[in-house]
Amino acid sequence: MDDRKILNPWGEDLIEDYKRLIKKFGISDFKEIKPYYPNPNHLIRRDIVFGHRGFKLVLNSIIKKQKFNVLSGIKPSGPFHLGTLTTAWEIVDFQKQGGNTFYCIADVEAYEDNGIPIKDSFETAVDNVADILALGLDYKKAYIYRQSSEYRVKDLAIEFSRGVTLNMLKAIYGLREFGLYISAMIQVGDILLPQLEDFGGPAPTVIPVGVDQDPHIRLTRDIAKKFKKYNFVPPAATYHKLMRGLDGSDKMSKRNPMSYFTLNEDPQSIRKKIMNAFTGGRNSAAEQRELGGQPHRCNIYDLYKFHFILDDNELKKIYQECINGDILCGECKKIAIDKILNFIEKHNKKKEKFIDIAREILK
Ligand code: SF4
C-alpha cells in the first residue's frame, strides 16, 4: 500500500493497524512513557493516545512544572463533531497541566481544502470557538487566532518556503494542488508560532492531533531543524486513534452524514443515527446472551470510550455486561442516547454564554 494513502491529512482513508504505523513512520509508542504522565486523562488511560513524536521533552516540562506550549486548532468547515471533540479534550487537558495555550482557526486551510471563502467561515469559527470554551478552554490564558489574520504565521510560511522543494512536499503529501502545499506551509507557521520571541522564545511545544496529521508534524520538525537562527525546539506531537464511522463505514466523513453527528445537531437526528449505528452485537438476542457482545468492534462502545463515559469504573461495567451477554444492544443504545443528549444539552447551555466572547476574540 502507498504509505501516503494511510497518512493523509486531507483524506478519509481507513487506518487499521496502529502498530504498523508506529513501525513504518518511526512514531514512538506512547505506552513507554505513559507510566510517567501525571494525572493522565481518559484518552491516555485508554490508549486512544497511542503514539508520539518527541514528547519526552514536553513530559519532562509537565513533571517539573516548567514552561511548555500546546497548540491545536480547527478547520472552520462545519460544527464541532466527534473527531474534533477528541482534540478538544486534549488541548483543554494540556492547558490544565500548565501549557501556554494556542488555538488556531485554520480558515486558510478551509479555503484551500474545502473551497470555503475566508469571510464565509467566520461565523463557523465563532461557533467552533464557543464550543472549545464551553468544553473548558480558559480563553484568558490562551491565544486564539485566525490563520488569515495572523501575519506572523504567514510571514513564517513565506520565509520557510525557501527551505522546501517541490520534491520534499511530494514525498510527504503526494502530488497535490498548490493551494494545499501553501496551507501546509501555513500550518508549519502555526506550529512554530508559539516559539517566537513575541511569545517568550523557544520552548518545548506539543501538538495533539489525530495520527493522519503526522505529515505536517514531520515537515515542521524538519524545517525547525533547518532554520537554526530561531533555535526552535523541534515541536512534539501526540497522536490519537481515529473513530470509525457510526454506520460501519471506515471513517467518519462529512460526505457520509450517517457516519457521525455534530454537537449542533437536532436530537432526533442524533437519536436516529445512534439507533442505526453498527455495533459489536451478535446475530440474535439468544446468541448474544450466550456468547456476549464484542465491544472492541462496536461503535457505541467507542462513543462511550472516546467521549461520553469518563469514569473508568463505569466503562468497565458496561464492558463486562457486554461481554457477559448481560446487556443487549438495543438497551445499550438507549443508554448511549440518554448520555449523549444529556451531555449535548448541558454543553449547549454553557456554549450560549460564550458566543459573544468568541466573536470578540476572533474580531
Ligand atoms: S451491548 Fe453495547 S457495547 Fe456491547 S456490542 Fe451491543 S451496543 Fe456494543
Question: With 50 as the cut, is the pLDDT of residue 3 above it?
Answer: no
Is the Cβ–Cβ distance between 290 and 325 less than 8 Å?
yes
How confident is the model over 46-68, as a mean pLDDT? Answer: 97
Integer CA distances (angstroms), 21 to 3, 267, 323, in order: 9, 37, 29
The domain segmentation of the chain, as residue ranges, is 3-242, 257-352
Q: Class assignment of domain 257-352? A: mainly alpha
Atom of ligand 1 nearest to the CA of 298: 8
How confident is the model over 313-320, as a mean pLDDT? Answer: 96
Is the Cβ–Cβ distance between 183 and 112 less than 8 Å?
yes
Pocket of ligand 1 (CB under 6 A): 279-281, 293-295, 298, 300-301, 322, 327, 329, 332-333
Q: What is the pLDDT of residues 340-361, one digit of tens each?
A: 999 999 999 999 999 999 999 9
C-alpha cell at 108: 486558510
Q: State the pLDDT confidence band at 4, using cuts at 50, 70 and 90.
A: very low
Nearest CA to ligand 1 atom 7: 329
Strand order in the sheet with 100-105: 28-29, 49-53, 236-240, 205-210, 69-74, 100-105, 142-146
Question: With 50 as the cut, is the pLDDT of residue 317 above it?
Answer: yes
SS3 193: helix
State which amino acid sits at residue 333: K
Q: How far is the CA of 360 from the centre of ligand 1 (A)?
A: 43
Question: With 90 as the cut, is the pLDDT of residue 7 above it?
Answer: no
DSSP 87-110: HHHHHHHHHHTT-EEEEEE-HHHH
Question: With 50 as the cut, is the pLDDT of residue 133 above it?
Answer: yes
Q: How far is the CA of 276 from the centre of ligand 1 (A)?
A: 13
pTM of the model: 0.91
Q: If you compute the radius of gyration of the chain from its CA atoms, what whole number of angstroms results? A: 21
Is the Cβ–Cβ distance between 128 and 351 less than 8 Å?
no
Question: With 80 as the cut, is the pLDDT of residue 53 above it?
Answer: yes
Nearest residue to 49 (alpha-carbon basis) of 27, 71, 66: 27
Q: How far is the CA of 56 from the centre of ligand 1 (A)?
A: 37
State which amino acid sits at residue 290: E
- Separation CA 149–CA 70 (nearest Å): 20
Q: Best substitution site from 329, 331, 334, 335 to test ligand 1's pocket, by max atoms within 8 Å of Cβ?
A: 329
Nearest CA to ligand 1 atom 4: 322
Question: With 70 as the cut, is the pLDDT of residue 79 above it?
Answer: yes
State which amino acid sits at residue 211: V
Nearest residue to 284 (alpha-carbon basis) of 235, 342, 254, 325: 325
- Separation CA 227–CA 224 (nearest Å): 6
Question: With 70 as the cut, is the pLDDT of residue 283 above it?
Answer: yes
- Separation CA 355–CA 60 (nearest Å): 36
State which amino acid sits at residue 126: V
CATH code of 3-242, in short, is 3.40.50.620
